[in-house]
């Protein structure tokens, strides 16, 4: 948590209306959007003018979240976004800790600013750009950090159904529905409080997870058929080519969660999912692991990425086949 002086100073500043912009990482997930909109609703209750800028579009499965339609998409409304950033009194950067995570162009826009920033994030190795940093890898989600941040300011009573709904989304998605290791008694206490604020937790689960299109399930079927085992390394991987994505009418968010199937196999403690993106000319990679197998390190060292010990991502500029070859070669080398 921020220290007492920082909290005091911030609380004082937030007592009079300010222009505040909230920024999340590129390809925002449930935690990025949930934490951003949860904080947005909270700051609006405190009478601030607040905008949420996402570097690129959010996935369809989050389209029902309160106020998400007002999100400013940097890649589509660049001039407006830059204007908002420049005229902000404060910028909150949520669910990431290095400005390059917002993408090449937005990174440049953020780097040129003198606006004080506040980072709230749970990834490893935070950069030093913010005025205030609340960075803690022991949290399972940024949403749980926002909840603690609101409480630390003494504003629990302000948390309403909208705020609670947003925060519940990120806690649920980043914890794999309360099963990943960073899910603590504190997490459940937080969620209990959010439910007591009137959210419909069961309906939120339906909206998040039981809303798939037919083609999305067919795509999952193809991904599972492509799943390969590397028994000697206790590893597995999934590939999806651009052609396969096109065949199943891929939409943003359709591959969310697919990587986890590779880890659900007996005897497997590390998995990767390689997804071809012809437009960007990259292979986007997701890594997952169990126990002390550190995929954050792995992604940082070999695939221009990072994340958490058990969940990380990265990218490759080789083609799909070469990328998979490289992956297997690294596993072979690390074994020796």
Print burial letters for 254-265: b (CB count within 10 Å at least 16), e (below 16): bbbebbebbbee
> Looking only at residues 310 through 329 of this chain, which bind ligand 5GP when binding is defined by CB under 6 A?
311-315
The residue number whose beta carbon is nearest to ligand 5GP equals 313
In terms of CB distance, is 107 or 193 closer to ligand 5GP? 107
Binds 30: which of Mn ion, ligand 5GP, none (CB < 5-8 Å by kind): none
Select from 28, 140, 253, 307 the one that contacts ligand 5GP (CB under 6 A). 307
Binds 121: which of Mn ion, ligand 5GP, none (CB < 5-8 Å by kind): none
Q: How many whole angstroms separate alpha carbon 332 and alpha carbon 14?
A: 54
> Looking only at residues 166 through 185 of this chain, which bind Mn ion when binding is defined by CB under 5 A?
174
Q: How many whole angstroms separate alpha carbon 318 and alpha carbon 325?
A: 10
State the nearest-atom distance from the C-beta of 167 to ligand 5GP, in Å. Answer: 17
Q: Token pair of 105, please?
A: 């162009």
Per CB under 6 A, does 309 bind ligand 5GP?
no
In terms of CB distance, is 31 or 256 closer to Mn ion? 31
Q: How many whole angstroms separate alpha carbon 96 and alpha carbon 329?
A: 30
Q: Token pair of 155, please?
A: 């504003």
Q: How many whole angstroms separate alpha carbon 199 and alpha carbon 202?
A: 9
Per CB under 5 A, does 95 bind Mn ion?
yes
Total interface residues for Mn ion by CB under 5 A: 4
Total interface residues for ligand 5GP by CB under 6 A: 11
Burial class (CB within 10 angstroms; exposed 0-12, middle 13-18, buried 19+) of 185 = exposed
Q: How many whole angstroms separate alpha carbon 120 and alpha carbon 275?
A: 29
In terms of CB distance, is 51 or 308 closer to ligand 5GP? 308
Per CB under 5 A, does 294 bind Mn ion?
no
Select from 150, 308, 327, 331 the one that contacts ligand 5GP (CB under 6 A). 308
Q: How far does Cα 216 stand from its chain's mean position? A: 21
Select from 286, 289, 316, 323 the one that contacts ligand 5GP (CB under 6 A). 286
Task: Please state, in angstroms and as integers, the Cα–Cα distance from residue 303 to each residue in 29, 225, 283, 292, following that order.
Answer: 20, 25, 10, 19
Per CB under 6 A, does 182 bind ligand 5GP?
no
Q: Token pair of 264, please?
A: 């659900």
In this chain, which stretch among 79-87, 204-212, 301-309, 323-331 interacts with ligand 5GP, using CB under 6 A?
Answer: 301-309
For residues 211, 213, 216, 221, the Cα torsion angle rounded to the nearest 10 degrees is 90
Q: Token pair of 192, please?
A: 């209990």
> Looking only at residues 221 through 250 of this chain, which bind Mn ion when binding is defined by CB under 5 A?
none
Can you point out the beta strands (E) in 220-264? 228-230, 235-240
Q: How many whole angstroms separate alpha carbon 67 and alpha carbon 162?
A: 9
Per CB under 6 A, does 140 bind ligand 5GP?
no
In terms of CB distance, is 160 or 226 closer to ligand 5GP? 226
Task: Please state, in angstroms and as integers, the Cα–Cα distance from residue 137 to each residue in 32, 121, 172, 261, following that order.
Answer: 15, 8, 17, 24
Q: Which residues contact 283 (CB under 8 A, 6 or more apart)?
A: 274, 275, 276, 277, 315, 316, 317, 318, 319, 320, 323
Binds 254: which of Mn ion, ligand 5GP, none (CB < 5-8 Å by kind): none
In terms of CB distance, is 95 or 276 closer to Mn ion? 95
Binds 308: which of ligand 5GP, Mn ion, none (CB < 5-8 Å by kind): ligand 5GP
In this chain, which stretch among 139-147, 189-197, 202-210, 286-294 interacts with Mn ion, using CB under 5 A?
Answer: 139-147
State the nearest-atom distance from the C-beta of 122 to Mn ion, in Å. Answer: 6
Contact residues: ligand 5GP, CB under 6 A: 259, 286, 305-308, 311-315
Contact residues: Mn ion, CB under 5 A: 31, 95, 142, 174
């Amino acid at each position: 948590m921020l220290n007492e002086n920082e909290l005091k100073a911030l609380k004082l500043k937030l007592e009079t209306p300010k222009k505040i912009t909230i920024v999340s990482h590129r390809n925002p997930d449930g935690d990025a959007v949930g934490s951003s909109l949860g904080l947005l609703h909270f700051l609006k209750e405190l009478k601030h003018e607040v905008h949420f800028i996402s570097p690129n579009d959010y996935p369809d499965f989050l389209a029902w979240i309160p106020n998400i339609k007002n999100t400013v998409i940097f890649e589509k409304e660049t001039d407006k976004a830059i204007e908002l950033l420049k005229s902000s009194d404060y910028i909150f950067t949520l669910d990431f800790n290095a400005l390059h995570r917002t993408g090449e162009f937005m990174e440049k826009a953020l780097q040129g600013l003198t606006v004080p920033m506040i980072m709230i994030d749970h990834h490893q190795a935070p950069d030093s750009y913010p005025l205030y940093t609340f960075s803690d890898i022991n949290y399972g989600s940024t949403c749980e950090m926002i909840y603690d941040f609101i409480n630390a300011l003494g504003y629990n009573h302000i948390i309403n159904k909208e705020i609670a709904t947003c925060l519940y989304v990120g806690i649920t998605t980043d914890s794999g529905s309360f099963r990943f290791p960073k899910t603590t008694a504190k997490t459940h206490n937080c969620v209990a409080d959010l439910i007591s604020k009137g959210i419909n937790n069961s309906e939120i689960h339906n909206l998040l997870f039981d809303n798939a299109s037919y083609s999305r399930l067919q795509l999952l079927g193809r991904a599972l058929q492509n799943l390969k085992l590397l028994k000697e390394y206790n590893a597995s991987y999934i590939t999806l080519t651009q052609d396969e994505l096109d065949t199943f009418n891929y939409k943003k968010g359709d591959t969310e969660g697919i990587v986890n199937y590779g880890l659900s196999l007996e005897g497997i403690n590390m998995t990767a999912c390689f997804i071809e993106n012809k437009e960007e000319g990259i292979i986007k990679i997701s890594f997952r692991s169990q126990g002390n197998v550190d995929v954050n390190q792995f992604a940082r060292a070999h695939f221009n990425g990072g994340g958490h010990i058990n969940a990380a991502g990265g990218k490759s500029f080789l083609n799909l086949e070469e990328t998979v070859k490289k992956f297997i070669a690294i596993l072979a080398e690390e074994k020796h």
